[in-house]
Amino acid sequence: MESAPGIKAVSLADKKIILGVSGGIAAYKAAELCRLLIKAGADVRVVMTAAAQQFVTPLTFQALSGKPVLTSLWDAASGDGMEHIHLSRDADLLLVAPASADFLAKLAHGRADDLLSTLCLARACTLAVAPAMNREMWAAAPTRRNLEQLQLDGVSVLGPAAGEQACGETGLGRMLEPGEILAALPGVLNAGPLAGKRVLITAGPTFEPIDPVRGLTNLSSGKMGYAVARAAAEAGAEVCLVSGPTCLDTPAGVRRIGVQSAADMRRAVLAELPSDVFIAVAAVADYRVNAAAPQKIKKSTDGMTLHLVANPDILAEVAALPDAPFCVGFAAETERLAEHAEAKRRKKRLPLLVGNLAQDTLGEDTAELVLFDDRGQHRLPRADKLTQARHLIRHLVNQLN
Ligand code: C5P
C-alpha cells in the first residue's frame, strides 16, 4: 500500500470493504482498485450494478477478490434474502468506485432499486464515493445539488480529478486513480496517526483588491499547501483547507474554504478554531491597499500612489492564543534561509517551521525543505511536494507524540 514514508502505514488488513461498481467506463479502473485493496490486506466483497456489467464482467472481480460477485437483490441462493442488511452490517466501509452521475442521483434521493443502492441505504458503515463522469455531467446543476446533499448526509466524496476523459473532452470528472483512492481510505476510515485530530491549513496566495478589477497578489501556486492537506487527510485527520485563489483540485476527503484577501483568510481561520494543528502554508500578502476603490480607477498620465497598510499576521495571532493549536509555519526566503527561518520561528513562537528557498520552490512540483524545531534543523532533500508533505506530517506526528 502507498503510504507516507515513515508514517506507520494504516493497515487495511482487518477492514471489510464492500467495493460497489456502478456503470461507467472507469469501471475498468475499479478492477485495479480491487487488486490494490486485496494487496493492502482488505477483505473485499464486490457488488456490481447491471450497467457496470456492461463494461466489465463479474468474473474479472471474482478472480481478483476470490469471492463471488454480488449483482442482484433477487438472488435466491442468498439464504433469507436479507443480503443487503447482512453485508453492510459486517462492513467497515462501502466504497462506490466509480460512482456514476446516475448512481449519485439515486443515492442523494435514497432510491433503492438494485442491490448496490439498497446496500447504500441500509448501511451501518462509512460510505465513500469516487465519482466518474463527463465534465458537463459533473458541472450540471442537478449533480451539484446531489453532491451537496450527499456531503450533508455524511458521505465522503473522493475526487474527481481533472484531465482527459474517455469521451475525448478534457475537464473535471475523471475518477481518481486507484492508488489515490487507496491513499485516501485511512482518512475516510479515520484510522491514521492523526485520527480524531482536526488540522487547519492555509494555502495559496492572497489577493488584495485595488479596485473591482485589479489587485495585489503573489506567485504562490498552492501546490505545497494542497499536498500538506492531502498528506494530513491520508494520516486520518479531519482537514479544513482555507485556500486563496488557485486552480488546484481539492484533495480527497478535505473540506476547502475558498478566500481572496488576507482579511478573508484570517476570518475563515478564526471561525474554524479550535483545531489541534494549524499549518500556515499560505503566502499571505504582508500589505493591502488601505481603501480599495469602489469603482474601476481610471488611467491617467500621472503616476499613481497606492497607500498600503500592514495585514494581520494570521499565524502569529493563532500561535498567541491561550489555547493555541500546534502551529507550523512556512518561510520562503531568497537568501540566508536558516538565519531568517529560525528568527521567524522564534518571533512567532512556533514549535515547527518549514523553510525553503523561494526561487527554488515557487510554482514548482518539487521542493527542497529544511524543518526547524527546538532540536535543530532537519533537511529534506529535493522531492515532489506530496512526498515532502508526507515527511512533514510524519515529523509533526512525532513531535505531537
Ligand atoms: O510572511 P512570513 O515569511 O512572515 O510568513 C511566515 C509564516 O507566517 C507562513 O507560514 C505564513 O503562512 C504565515 N503568515 C500569516 N499571515 C501573514 C503573513 C504570514 O499567517 N500575514
Query: Is residue 236 located within the same domain as residue 306?
Result: yes
Cα(252) to centroid of ligand 1, in Å?
26
Is residue 362 in some structural domain?
yes
- Within 83-153, residue ranges assigned H as helices are 83-90, 101-108, 115-122, 135-139, 141-152
Query: Is residue 172 located within the same domain as residue 208?
Result: no
Query: Is residue 266 located within the same domain as residue 389?
Result: yes
| Ligand 1 atom 5 nearest Cα | 331
Check if the beta carbon of residue 104 is closer than 8 Å to that of residue 138.
no
Query: Is residue 141 located within the same domain as residue 37?
Result: yes
What 385-389 contacts at long range (C-beta under 8 Å, 24+ apart), as own/partner pairs, is 385/223, 385/224, 385/227, 386/227, 386/230, 386/231, 387/5, 388/224, 388/227, 389/224, 389/227, 389/228, 389/230, 389/231
Q: Which domain-ending residue is among 167, 188, 209?
A: 188
CA distance 253 to 126: 13
Query: Is residue 171 located within the same domain as residue 209?
Result: no
Q: Which residues pair with 283 in a beta bridge?
A: 205
Query: Is residue 6 located within the same domain as residue 155?
Result: yes
Quick check: helix, strand or coil at residue 6? coil
Query: Is residue 153 located within the same domain as residue 209?
Result: no
Query: Is residue 373 located within the same domain as residue 318?
Result: yes
Taking CA atoms, 152 is separated from 219, 272, 338, in Å, by: 35, 18, 45
**Residue 315, ligand 1, Cβ within 6 A:** yes
**Residue 2: what pLDDT?**
40
CA distance 70 to 275: 42
Query: Is residue 244 located within the same domain as residue 379?
Result: yes
Is residue 46 in some structural domain?
yes
**Residue 11: what pLDDT?**
65
CATH code, domain with 366 = 3.40.50.10300
Pocket test for ligand 1, best of 269, 314, 321, 369 (most atoms within 8 A of CB): 314
CATH code, domain with 71 = 3.40.50.1950
Cα(312) to centroid of ligand 1, in Å?
9
Check if the beta carbon of residue 92 is closer than 8 Å to that of residue 16.
yes
Strands 93-99 and 156-157: unpaired
- Residues with a catalytic annotation lie at 167
Q: Which domain-ending residue is among 131, 165, 188?
A: 188
Quick check: helix, strand or coil at residue 75? coil
Cα(161) to centroid of ligand 1, in Å?
30
Neighbours of 267 (CB within 10 A): 15
CA distance 263 to 330: 19
Cα(374) to centroid of ligand 1, in Å?
19
**Residue 5: what pLDDT?**
41
**Residue 32: what pLDDT?**
98
CA distance 44 to 91: 9
**Residue 262, ligand 1, Cβ within 6 A:** yes
Cα(197) to centroid of ligand 1, in Å?
23
Is residue 193 in some structural domain?
no
**Residue 328, ligand 1, Cβ within 6 A:** no
**Residue 329, ligand 1, Cβ within 6 A:** yes
Is residue 380 in some structural domain?
yes
Is residue 70 in some structural domain?
yes
**Residue 268, ligand 1, Cβ within 6 A:** no
Interior CA angle at 363 toward 360 and 364, to 5°? 55
Query: Is residue 240 located within the same domain as residue 146?
Result: no
Is residue 275 in some structural domain?
yes
CA distance 56 to 29: 10
**Residue 329 CA: which ligand 1 atom is closest?**
10
Instruction: Give me the domain span that covers residue 234.
Output: 198-400
Is residue 316 in some structural domain?
yes
**Residue 397: what pLDDT?**
93
Grid cell for residue 99? 460512482
Q: Which domain-ending residue is among 153, 170, 188?
A: 188
**Residue 199, ligand 1, Cβ within 6 A:** no
Quick check: helix, strand or coil at residue 268? helix
> How many domains does one find in the chain?
2
Query: Is residue 106 located within the same domain as residue 211?
Result: no
Rounded to two decimals, what is the model's pTM? 0.73
Neighbours of 335 (CB within 10 A): 9
Query: Is residue 183 located within the same domain as residue 211?
Result: no
Is residue 288 in some structural domain?
yes
**Residue 284, ligand 1, Cβ within 6 A:** yes
Check if the beta carbon of residue 202 is closer than 8 Å to that of residue 262.
no
Run means of pLDDT, 10 residues per run, the chain, 401 residues: 40 89 97 97 96 97 95 71 73 96 97 94 91 95 93 85 79 93 87 88 98 96 96 90 96 92 98 98 97 94 93 97 97 93 96 89 86 95 92 94 85
